[in-house]
Structures are given as structure tokens and as C-alpha cells.
Amino acid sequence: MIGELFRARAAELQRGGRSRLYVELMREAADDADAGGIVAAIFAGDPATPASVPELRLLAALHHLVLSGGAPELARYFPSAGGDAPPQDAWAVARRTLAEHEAFIRERARRTVQTNEPGRCVALYGGLLWLSERHRLPIRLLEIGASAGLNLNPDRFAYVVDGAPLGDARSPLAFDEPWTGAPVTDPPAAAARLRIVERAGCDQAPIDPTSVDGRLELQSYIWPDEPARLARVELAASIAARHPVAIERRGAAAWLLRRLGAPRADVVTVIWQSVVDQYLEDAERAAIRSAFASAGGGPLAWLTLEPPAAASEDGSFELRCHERPEGNGSGESRLLARAGYHGPPVVWAVASPDA
């Protein structure tokens, strides 16, 4: 099973033209696991289900070791550490590194993947504009599976849309023309009116973006040959350090029950999640739905950026909104946009808050 998961991910990366280094490492790691080698030993006793993405956990552990300076020989293959050696030669060094640092790798590989991708704010920010215009109220933003909380600062990033800057035009983190279409008829006017008056998050294993190890961990989950993503995580972490949001170490359902208990008619309470569903047990997923359904009064919306029920040909995700009271009368979530796995590009399916 481990080998199959590694090969499937390697094939996915190759189809997308991404990370030749990780394609090579995953294929070799798959063969090693099948042969009962060091990879099999590291994952001994691990359930290693597709949703638990063992291939991403292993490579994140290796990447963390490289970024922290603990594997200088392997660093020669990682562009994130200045390396440029041929990827096809990396496995022999990686295998030695795994054996030499087995205890560290084993511990790191047990951690849940934390791809706290600030690019997903490109979708979230538009969703907040849509909800703010729809209700004409300030936003109370609650994120489940918040990781380091980087996506709780969507209004502190810049978005250049049709040449007009939205969000914080002075932000060091900017997204240039990330949308096709728009969630509202007048984005600049909606952006000027948007106010986030409260923000909070929870996670089973939150990361501190202000700490050295926290930033290293965030970067370790990014492909080492994607410098733009590495840079924007670093910029988002620096913004989070200036505007800290406490992330509570707690399960999503229990946290939401407490947060949603008191009615709030003065704000739109927005629950936000991105690529969280696959990590939840069925019971926790049901408990989250129950917390949403039983929440106190006041406008309540649940924004999700997750894979569609039926996999799309282009691998795009769906930004959906479920409102309570029901916003469209059907009881179903409303498709707001389609987006990339890491956010841009976002193609809007709505043109106004009434659409």
C-alpha cells in the first residue's frame, strides 16, 4: 500500500509538470517500501491511508531536515536550500539520510500535513466580499484546521484585480490578477466596505508562525522547487507575526460548539476551511455539521475550499457557501467559484451577492 501511494503521487506530480525532484524521490521510496527497506521501517504500524498522505509526510520530514541544516549532503539536491544537483541522483543520498536520522524522520513523519497555503486567501477574500455585500454586516471569521492561522489575515494581503488593488495595497504579499470574473459587481467598493471584526481558529496541532521551527515546518510542506510558494508563506508568516491570531489546540466540532453557542445578530459569522475534510474522521465530520445546524441565531455562513464530489479533469477545487438560514432555499451549498489547489486562479461562478 505504501508503495502504491508514493507512485500515485509521483504520477500526479509528473502529469502536472511539478517537482522533478519529488517525482524521483517518491518513485525510489516506493521501490524501497516494497522491498522492506528504510521507508517500510519508518511507516511500520502506520495505517498509511490515502487520506493520511504518507508520501507528503515523509518528504516534508526530509525537507525540514534539509532546511534546518541537518542534511548538508542532501541539500545539494534541494533548490530551497540552494542546491542544483541532478534530481535523478538524489535517492542514494536520501536513503542514507533516512537511515542516519531515522528517529527524527519517524517522529516528523507521524505529524499531520500542514499545507497552510496563503494562496487560498484569493478564494476566501472574494467569498468574504460576497458575504459582506449580501448581508451588509461586519465579518466574524472562524477557521477550523487553521494550522498557523496564515489564512486568518485575508484582508491584510493585496489582490490586484483588473488593475485595482484590493485588500491592503501596502501589503508585502500581493496576488496579481488572480481572478476570472468577480464575486461582486464592484470589487473596489466592496473591498472598502469589508470589515473583519473578529478572527479565531483551531487546529489539532497548531503551528507558531513566529517561531523559527514553526516557519521551518510550514516551509517543509512546500515542494522545494517552488520558490514563489516558499516566498509567500514566509511573507504571510511575517504578517501573522505582526497581527497574531491565537490558534486553539482543539478539535473542530468541540471548538465550534463553544464559539457558536451565543446568538450574534451584529455580524456575519463565517466558518472557513480549506483542504480539511480529508483529514477528518466520519464522526468528527458529522459533529461539525451538527454544530453548524444547532448554532445560535444570527447570520451564519460556512465557506469551504475542497475537492469536488466528483474529481474534476483539471484538478480544480470548489469554493462553496452553506448559509443558515438557508441562503438559496434548497438546503444545499452554493458554488461560488472554482480554484486551484493552492488558490489562484479563481474562476467565479457568481457575479453579485444575489446571484
Indicate if 12 and 123 belong to the same structural domain: no
Indicate if 264 and 176 belong to the same structural domain: yes
Indicate if 72 and 138 belong to the same structural domain: no
Residue 331: which residues within 8 A CB-CB, separation 6 or more?
none
Indicate if 100 and 138 belong to the same structural domain: no
Residue 340 lies in a domain: yes
Indicate if 226 and 168 belong to the same structural domain: yes
Q: Provide the number of structural domains found in the chain.
A: 2
Residue 277: which residues within 8 A CB-CB, separation 6 or more?
285, 304, 306
Output the domain CATH number for residue 147: 3.40.50
pLDDT score at 355: 59
Query: How many residues are there in the chain?
Result: 355
Indicate if 221 and 300 belong to the same structural domain: yes
Residue 146 lies in a domain: yes
Residue 347: which residues within 8 A CB-CB, separation 6 or more?
179, 180, 181, 316, 337, 338, 339
Range(s) of the domain holding residue 134: 118-348
Q: Are 222 and 114 in contact, with CB atoms under 8 Å apart?
A: no
Indicate if 123 and 267 belong to the same structural domain: yes
Residue 353 lies in a domain: no
Q: Which of 70, 85, 109 is the last residue of a domain?
A: 109
* Max Cα–Cα distance, the chain, nearest Å: 61
Indicate if 303 and 177 belong to the same structural domain: yes
C-alpha–C-alpha distance, residues 142 and 200, integer Å: 5
Indicate if 184 and 232 belong to the same structural domain: yes
pLDDT score at 296: 83
Residue 151 lies in a domain: yes
Residue 85: which residues within 8 A CB-CB, separation 6 or more?
76, 77
Indicate if 338 and 209 belong to the same structural domain: yes
Q: Which of 86, 109, 132 is the last residue of a domain?
A: 109
HEC readout, 42-86: HCCCCCCCHHHCHHHHHHHHHHHHHHCCCCHHHHCCCHHHCCCCC
Residue 354 lies in a domain: no
pLDDT score at 49: 83
Cα 344 to chain centroid, rounded: 13
For the whole prediction, is pTM greater than 0.85?
Answer: yes
Within 265-348, strands assigned E span 268-274, 300-306, 317-324, 334-340, 343-348
Q: Which of 52, 86, 109 is the last residue of a domain?
A: 109
The pLDDT tens digits along the chain (355 residues) read 888 999 999 998 998 888 999 999 999 999 999 999 999 999 998 888 888 899 999 999 999 999 999 999 999 999 999 999 999 999 999 999 999 999 999 999 999 888 899 999 999 999 999 999 999 999 999 999 999 999 999 999 999 999 999 999 999 999 999 999 999 999 999 999 999 999 999 999 999 999 999 999 999 999 999 999 999 999 999 999 999 998 999 999 999 999 998 888 999 999 999 999 988 999 999 999 999 999 988 999 999 999 998 766 667 899 999 998 765 555 678 999 999 989 999 999 986 776 5
Indicate if 262 and 202 belong to the same structural domain: yes
Q: List strands edge to edge, sheet with 158-161.
A: 164-167, 158-161, 174-176
Residue 44: which residues within 8 A CB-CB, separation 6 or more?
none
Indicate if 20 and 134 belong to the same structural domain: no
- Preceding peptide of 325 cis, ω within 30°: yes
Residue 12 lies in a domain: yes
Give the DSSP H/E element, type plus range, for residue 235.
helix 227-242
pLDDT score at 331: 61
pLDDT score at 172: 97
Residue 23 lies in a domain: yes
pLDDT score at 34: 93
